Amino acid sequence: MKTDTRNPVILIADDDPDDQLLIQEAFAERCANCQLCFVANGVELMGYLRGAAPESELSTDCPLPDLLLLDLNMPLKDGRQALLEIRADPALRELPTIVLTTSGNDEDKAFCLAQGANDYIVKPSRYTELLTIVTSLKIYCNTSAMQQPDSDNNA
């Protein structure tokens, strides 16, 4: 966990543009100060984490993340393979990594947790549930930038 005062950097590895947009909106509501960076596949993810030049629309001003949200089902290299590489790399081993995926498969969950994922969350079907998830991620960022949900907005 980071203890500095800079805004938390959240790296989202997800190839679905709709999911990316929903995640971006949820963070805008719950952590406006969070800096979000996106990659669309496992190859981009590992390149990003290892400091390689961005291959897509990555911003070059995105530092190493405080938290990784990892989808399992991505092209080129899936989240399972990426998780194995992250946990095998001494420089990345301690990176808080949350699997955020559509797979509710018990074998996927058991595999990811056994390989060192900090948590395994099935993508919710309701936006309000996504807001709750984003709020709960503050423990991984150790920051007050993550706001508590307003009682007025719980619909």
Closest by alpha carbon to 98, among 77, 112, 78, 81?
112
Give the model confidence (pLDDT) of 97-122 as tens digits. Answer: 999 988 888 999 999 999 999 999 99
Spell out the domains of the chain, with CATH numbers in brackets. 9-148 (3.40.50.2300)
Mean pLDDT of 40-69: 74
Structure confidence at residue 64 (pLDDT): 82
* Residue whose C-alpha is closest to residue 39's, from 2, 1, 7, 68: 68
Whole-angstrom Cα distance, residue 106 to residue 102?
12
In this prediction, residue 142 carries a pLDDT of 56
pLDDT for 62 equals 62
